[in-house]
Amino acid sequence: MAKEEYDGKKPNRLAKSGYKTKYPHNQAFLSKAGHEIHVDNTPGSERIRVAHKSGSYVEINPDGAKVEYTVGHSQSYHKGGHTETFDHNKDSGVRGHQRDNVHGGKNSTSKGDSDSVAGGHINVIVVGNAKIAVAGDGYMGVKGNMNMNIKGNMSMKVAGSTSMETKGTHSIKAAKIALN
């Protein structure tokens, strides 16, 4: 995986600080190394902030929103399980690569629409069997060439009509043709 360099800019999507401190409501501790701990009791602007001298910080704003900003690498390890529940939207942005490794089964369910878009190639490799079931209409559009290689048998059942239009050459090669 290629390593992406950090450009030094905070992302635009990072929530603004709840900092509206008024003296004497803020209790702050500043270490010799430059680390900070703030407990702000300013009425209507209560917040907690723990900041590392590197610029990484965690802040809990007056509305209970939690902001985490990490300058370096961040890692989380859960020896047991981990559950996340969101009552509203979840938005994830990755400027570099993303890799998901699942050693057990994986299930993805969407009660609404689901889209997958790739600006490059998509490879789907199934070691076992594959099944695609569509309850409504289906469509596949290919702008370039399409090849289908089947090493076993192929069966196609159509309950309605079938039509095929070929603007170029149409050829069929079979060892034996059976008409039923």
CATH number of the domain to which 63 belongs: 3.10.450.190
In the chain, what is the greatest distance between 2 CA atoms, to the nearest angstrom? Answer: 93
Is residue 107 in a domain? Answer: no
- Chain position carrying tokens 């690569």: 97
Is residue 76 in a domain? Answer: no
30: Cβ contacts below 8 Å, ≥ 6 apart = 36
- Chain position carrying tokens 């594959």: 130
Q: Is residue 149 over pLDDT 70?
A: yes
Is residue 17 in a domain? Answer: no
**Measured between alpha carbons, how far is 62 from 26 in angstroms, rounded to an integer?**
13
**Measured between alpha carbons, how far is 171 from 165 in angstroms, rounded to an integer?**
13
Is residue 106 in a domain? Answer: no
pLDDT of residue 84: 94
Total domains in the chain come to 1
Is residue 57 in a domain? Answer: yes
Is residue 135 in a domain? Answer: no
Q: What tens digit of pLDDT does each residue of 31-55 get?
A: 999 999 999 999 999 999 999 999 9
What mean pLDDT comes out for the span 98-113?
94
Is residue 86 in a domain? Answer: no
pLDDT grade, residue 9 (50/70/90)?
A: low
Is residue 56 in a domain? Answer: yes
* Of the candidates 47, 17, 49, 51, the residue with the CA atom closest to the CA atom of residue 34: 51
Paired residues of 36 in beta bridges = 30, 51
In the chain the beta strands, taken as DSSP E runs, fall at: 26-30, 36-40, 47-51, 57-60, 66-69
Q: Is residue 127 over pLDDT 60?
A: yes
pLDDT grade, residue 138 (50/70/90)?
A: very high
Domain that holds residue 62: 26-69
pLDDT grade, residue 11 (50/70/90)?
A: low
